[in-house]
Amino acid sequence: MIFTSLFETAWHALATHRLRSFLTMLGMVIGVAAVILMLAIGQGAQAMVRSAIESMGSNLFIIMSGATTTGGARVAIGSAPTLTFDDADAIRDLQDIVAASPVSPGSAQLIYGGVNWSTSVFGTTPDYAIVRDWPMESGGFFSEADVRSGARVAVIGQVVARELFGDEDPIGKVIRIRQAPFEVIGVLAAKGQSLDGRDQDDLVIVPISSAQQKIFSGSLRNRARFIMAQAVSEKSMDAAESAINELLRNRHRIGVGQEDDFTVRNLTAIAEAAASTTRIMSLLLGAIAAISLVVGGIGIMNIMLVSVTERTREIGIRMAIGARRRDVLWQFLIEALTLSLIGCGMGVVLGIGGATLVESFAGLPIAVTPASLLMAVGVSFLIGVFFGFYPARRAAGLDPIEALRSQ
Amino acid sequence: MAQPGKPLIEVVDLEKDYPTGAGVLQALRGVSLSIAAGEFVAIMGASGSGKSTFMNLLGCLDRPTRGSYHLDGQDVSRLSSDQLAALRNREIGFVFQGFNLLPKLTALDNVALPLVYAGVGRQARRQQAQAMLDRVGLGDRSHHTPLQLSGGQQQRVAIARALASRPRLIFADEPTGNLDSETSRQVMGLFSQLNREEGITLVLVTHEADIAAYARRRICFQDGRVVEDVAQSEGAT
């Protein structure tokens, strides 16, 4: 039997029961749409996390002042940071560490001309740009000499540049940070959202000495709220972590059995955990969607069984005039396949439409990839074959004489 | 065409058993006969006499329990179900009492259906089917569905379908059973004409004597055996 006439026959049979065919397909439509939508949302979330991780910098440690227990940070509000600039220098001198920078964070109002903007202020050292792998868009970062002399220079993020300066070139302009004048010497390249959803470009970075003298006047000199450090490579992360622990316990004279007054966190590991969480989430969503595909397949099998019973006489006639068993098998298999593939096509359209809606209304980034489309089509094909085979075999196994006699 | 000297159909000691709840039903109990190419045979008998079972065996829809069946010299009882299907497709045409047309297809598509299974291309299929519809006088009804046709017209479409793959043998099972006497005469006239003009071998199952009278040989069945096998002059043409 010729293949095109098989599809013709299948189309004909399905077209005579339009409503029934459509309802049968609905399971596949919803299943495929759900798979595509869920994969799109999942992959969108993954892409978001990935870019956040990339923007964070690699092989990163954050060493925080104060101890933590499982309950969280035990640093009392107002208590003095325990980490010193010298701690940061010592960490930087460790074998497995590339760079380390003490950070004194806070927030302040910036004023330029008649415009003001409240933002985060980070007092730190030039190592910060290395640790965070943060290139400049224009101008340059401040130097060690600037830190030593307490120079009033500032590097600003993209958001600050836009809000304060608009189209103007910020380089060389003087802004006031909590009334103290600072000269803008550089604009950082855009980083986007961090893992916890903050806009990383909304900040201003100044030498840590200047920050403590001019902006956070109440803060203890030479103390940092936290230190960020970068390990040489991913492999050296573990060695670096214990080296930092040992170093700081020595420097802070913490005896055996005493509680640390600092906390070392492997940021890269935390980020990777977040990434694998979103990966598992998207897998889970896909699996739930796949269940509706299977349900759709069972619907197809059910209707095909009904169809075979209804058309027993037709099968008998076809066999009498020369249809081989395999012709009958193919006829019903192709019918089931046509059902599932048309359902798949409608599901793809619905899924892409839904994904576009989610993107525009919920503001979630989504990604309908060719791979997910291919998977949807492939799975529908398999479902059509799998759930179409049993009814088709039943049709092909009919006895022609019995089938001809049926009403 | 049949090999000279050999009959088209030759059955020897044909038996068919059906297992039933109460034991084995012997539908055929040893039938031996032969039919030459070009014959027009009527098979008669009461219901349960075994004539339908015999027809199903001759039509390659079923296989005998014992005995041999040679169709054109070929031992049919040894063929696979695919080979039987091919025989039904190319060598045999069926005409049924209930017409057995596919209701959703047009007359043309119904007639073309055997050609689909013969692997004939779409264009050639339509041409041949149209020619067969012309042959049975329904060339102008090719795009009607069976429900739009009268009983006599439906049976002529069924005959056109039986003719589509140009078989040498046509089996007709009570072909006039659902028709009134006038249309019965037309249908039987068509059969006689096909037999006379194209040499198609016709085997007709009927229980009506006036229908059997169209044939030139009459075989009567009773309790699974042939009880009468006589030549007769063509009666009503």
Tens digit of pLDDT for each residue in B140-181? 999 999 999 999 999 999 999 999 988 999 999 999 988 999
- Residues of B within 8 A of A325 (CB-CB) are 81-82, 85
Torsion angle of the four alpha carbons B141, B144, B147, B149, in this order, in degrees rounded to the nearest 10: -10
Contacts of B89 in chain A (CB under 8 A): 321-323
Q: Which of A1, A321, A400 sits opposite B119 (nearest CB)?
A: A1
**CB distance A404–B96 less than 8 Å?**
yes
Note whether A401 contacts B56, CB cutoff 8 Å. yes
CB contact under 8 A, B117 and A319: no
| Minimal C-alpha gap between B99 and chain A (Å) | 10
CB contact under 8 A, B116 and A324: no
**Is B85–A313 a contact, with Cβ atoms under 8 angstroms apart?**
no
CA distances from A78 to A105, A214, B168 (A): 14, 19, 107
Here the tokens at position A242 are: 């214990």
User: Measured between alpha carbons, how far is residue A241 from residues A63, A101, A116, A244, A250 in Å?
Assistant: 10, 16, 41, 5, 14
Chain B residues whose CB is inside 8 A of the A16 CB are: 104
Q: Is the CB of A322 less than 8 angstroms away from the CB of B165?
A: yes
| Closest Cα in chain A to B167 | A321
Judged by CB atoms closer than 8 Å, whether chains meet at B165 and A324 is answered as no
Chain A nearest CA to B235, separation (Å): 31
pLDDT band at B101 (very low <50, low <70, confident <90, very high): very high
Structure tokens at B120: 């004939």
Q: How far is Cα B30 from Cα B47, in angstroms, rounded to an integer? A: 18
Average pLDDT, chain B: 90
* pTM summary value: 0.73
| Contact yes or no for A67/A263 (Cβ under 8 A) | yes
Residue B232 phi/psi, 5-degree rounding, is -140, 150
> Percentage helix, strand, coil, to 5, in chain A?
55, 20, 25
In angstroms, what separates the C-alpha of B18 from chain A's closest C-alpha?
A: 13
Domain boundaries, chain A: 3-52+273-405, 67-260
Chain-chain contact of A325 with B88 (C-beta, under 8 angstroms): no
Instruction: Fill in the DSSP letter of residue B147.
Output: G
Residue contact A2–B119, C-beta within 8 A? yes
The answer on pLDDT for B89 being more than 90 is yes
Q: CA angle, corner A103, sides to A101 and A105, nearest 5?
A: 160
Please give the ipTM for the structure prediction: 0.92
Quote the tokens at residue B48: 């349960």
- pLDDT for res B155: 93
Q: Which of B174, B169, B183 is nearest to B212 (CA)?
A: B174
Nearest CA to A209 out of A134, A81, A103 is that of: A103
Does the CA dihedral A77-A78-A79-A85 come out positive or negative? positive
Q: Residue B104 is nearest to which of A12, A320, A401, comparing CB atoms?
A: A12
pLDDT tens-digit profile, chain A (407 residues): 567 778 888 888 888 888 999 999 998 999 899 888 888 888 888 887 878 777 788 888 999 887 655 445 554 444 668 888 889 999 999 989 999 999 988 889 999 988 899 999 999 999 999 998 899 999 999 999 999 998 999 999 999 999 999 888 999 999 999 889 999 999 999 988 787 778 889 999 999 999 888 888 776 778 888 999 999 988 888 899 999 999 998 898 888 878 888 888 888 888 888 888 888 888 888 888 888 888 889 999 999 999 999 999 999 999 999 999 999 999 999 999 999 999 999 999 999 998 888 888 877 777 788 888 888 888 889 999 999 999 999 999 999 999 998 87
Which residues in chain A are contacts of B114 at CB distance < 8 A?
321-322
> Which residues have a Cβ under 8 Å from the Cβ of A167 and sit 6 or more positions away?
none
Residue type at B16 in one-letter notation: K
Does the beta-carbon distance from B86 to A322 stay under 8 Å? yes
Q: State whether B116 and A2 contact (CB < 8 Å).
A: yes
Contacts A–B by Cβ distance under 8 A: 68
Residue B138 is encoded by which pair of tokens?
């329904």
| Tokens (6 digits) for B106 | 């047009």
Name the residue among B82, B113, B119 with its Cβ closest to that of A321.
Answer: B113
pLDDT at A141: 93
Instruction: Convert the pLDDT of each residue in B37-67 to its tens digit.
Output: 999 999 999 888 889 899 999 999 988 999 9
> Residues B68-85: pLDDT tens digits?
999 988 898 888 999 999
Residues of A in contact with B90 (CB under 8 A): 322
Residue B200's pLDDT is: 93
pLDDT grade, residue B111 (50/70/90)? very high
Contact criterion met (CB < 8 Å) for A2 and B59: no
Probe site for chain B from A321, A398, A401, A406 (most B CB atoms < 10 A): A321
Query: Would the CB atoms of A323 and B117 count as touching at under 8 Å?
Result: yes
Residue B137 is encoded by which pair of tokens?
Answer: 């006088």
pLDDT at A71: 46
Q: Please report the pLDDT score of residue A77 as a whole number.
A: 40
Chain B positions in Cβ-Cβ contact with residue A4 (cut-off 8 Å): 122
Chain B residues within 8 Å of chain A (Cβ atoms)? 56, 59, 61-62, 81-82, 85-86, 88-90, 94, 96, 100-102, 104-105, 113-114, 116-119, 121-122, 161, 165
Q: Cβ contact (<8 Å) for B117 and A318?
A: yes
pLDDT of residue B4: 52
Instruction: Kindly report, residue by residue over B15-34, the tens digit of the pLDDT.
Output: 999 888 888 888 999 999 99
